[in-house]
Structure 1
Amino acid sequence: MTDRPVPPPITTMRISFHTDDGVVPVVHSVSFHIHPGEILGIVGESGCGKSVTSLSIMGLIPAMTGKVSGDIHFKGGKSRRKRENESHQVVA
């Protein structure tokens, strides 16, 4: 087993959406580490938050309809809710 530096994780991500009935939490808490060269597969039942979690990591949940809290680190720095054009640079 090789000692690799642990990269900063995605920590305690919480996601909620604004509805006519108020704020609805959809992902209550998710945290994980992804080491360089590793691939993460997110699996689960229909409606459990896989797509919402992935969209949130990429910054694709619009601020006016949803709220994402927690820290997402990318390439050694925090990557939280950047402007739309910067998000496309991270994803591309």
Structure 2
Amino acid sequence: MGLGQPDWQLTHFLNLLRTTNADLSTMPQPTVLLLIMLLTTSLFTPFMNDIFGLGEEIGWRGYLLPRLMPLGKTKAYLLLGVI
């Protein structure tokens, strides 16, 4: 099925980390990283979703709805809702 066994010990990641000789003492605390990620995603994600949502609304309501209106108002709205 393509399902693998999870490596809960993170052995591959830890081996890779050892080979890079990274200084982990200079890394910020995980809570700081979590707060930064939470802040950036809560500020920027809605704007990115708005861009795609607006494009979808313009496409369906601006393009498709006028082409469905010859079927009648009720049928056009129902078809647009189903699609």
**TM-score normalized by the length of structure 1:** 0.21
Larger Rg: 2
More helix by share: 2
**More RCO (CA 8 Å, sep 6+):** 1
The structure carrying a bigger strand percent of its residues is 1
